[in-house]
Amino acid sequence: MASLGQRIDAQSFDTDKQGGDFTPLPEGIFRMEVTESEVKEDGEKVQAVFKISVIEPEEYKDKWIYFKAWVQHPTPQAQSIGQTDIARLARACEIPQPENTEEFHLIPFVGEVKYGKPFQKKTNGVPQVDSNGAPVMTSFPEIKKFFYPDQGDLPGPQITGDAPARPAP
């Protein structure tokens, strides 16, 4: 048995309200900022992981997505793509030569979010299928384009498409 370290009074919490607003972010152009980051190391691989939150439009404020990029990778192509992605984020944030992920925190930038290529959903490594045996497909939002302040006026936030339907759990 594991101790909670304190007694929790269940009557003092609103337990009728359950879940949260898990409405997926639609496709569009958003004003965003990095709110959290970490660097993960695994042998020869080093990956920067950024949690990016929406600032505008207001109705999507505080929705977030992850942006992941390889800093080091044994495959030269993967490393080059990852470092180029970090350079794009740095240019959008006007950081000429970043040395650590915290330099990106709370600097607004503009990016276009689209959903990536659908793939088969897995649970604990097991491909998921629906009741008819068809694969359960999913996709994640990705920043597909950064807008750079050094190229002139930045576009305003706008919704350009819906989020894909999420698979049933």
76/7: higher pLDDT = 76
pTM, full prediction: 0.81
| Beta-bridge partner residues of 66 | 51
- Do 52 and 35 form a contact (C-beta atoms < 8 A)? yes
Phi/psi at 130 (nearest 5 deg)? -85, -175
For residue 15, name the pLDDT band (cuts at 50, 70, 90).
confident
DSSP H stretches of helix in the chain:
76-92
94-105 tens-digit pLDDT: 999 999 999 999
- Do 28 and 141 form a contact (C-beta atoms < 8 A)? no
d(CA 84, CA 20): 35
For residue 166, name the pLDDT band (cuts at 50, 70, 90).
low
d(CA 114, CA 28): 7
Q: How far is CA 85 from CA 49, 90, 119, 143, in A?
A: 12, 9, 22, 10
